[in-house]
Amino acid sequence: MARTAYTNSAVPIRTHQGNEYDAFARITRRMKEAATRGKPGFNALVTAIHENRRLWTILAGDVADDGNTLPEQLRAQIFYLAEFTGQHSAKVLSGKAGVEILIEINMAVMRGLRQQEAATP
């Protein structure tokens, strides 16, 4: 019994990239669903955009940290995307822009995280 407790291969090991992917996927799905509902989905869209902003704020703080080991250019790109996301989110909430670009950005990040996870031994 003790031996099988430590060898349960049915429980996947979560990676940092996998956790980030899941967060992006969950928030992106919420933005998509809310956007397809139109005006009746506005409250859900506000909540999803708020969550998206929080995620990007966390990422911006992470890449701004001197101890971050990502390449400097990638860190700068992520920081820029975080700033853009915040600015564009305000436009979406005020009805001056659509949410599609925020969804596209998140989807691109998700693709990158999947590629990175697949390349990690």
Give the integer Cα–Cα distance in Å for 48 and 43: 9
Residue 98 clears pLDDT 50, i.e. is over it: yes
Give the up-direction half-sphere exposure of residue 35: CA atoms within 13 A in the CB hemisphere.
Answer: 18
Residue 44 clears pLDDT 50, i.e. is over it: yes
pLDDT band, residue 58 (cuts 50/70/90): very high
Identify the H or E element spanning 87: helix 72-93
pTM: 0.84
Which tokens belong to 119? 């390349």
**pLDDT at 118 (0 to 100):** 75
Residue 14 clears pLDDT 90, i.e. is over it: no
Instruction: Specify the 3-state DSSP secondary structure of 65.
Output: coil
Within its chain, how far is the Cα of 55 from the centroid? 6
Domain ranges of the chain: 15-119
Identify the H or E element spanning 74: helix 72-93
**pLDDT at 2 (0 to 100):** 47
Other CB atoms within a 10 A radius of the CB of residue 52 amount to: 25
Give me the residue label for tokens 């990158």.
112
Which tokens belong to 63? 């890449």
Give the integer Cα–Cα distance in Å for 86 and 18: 24
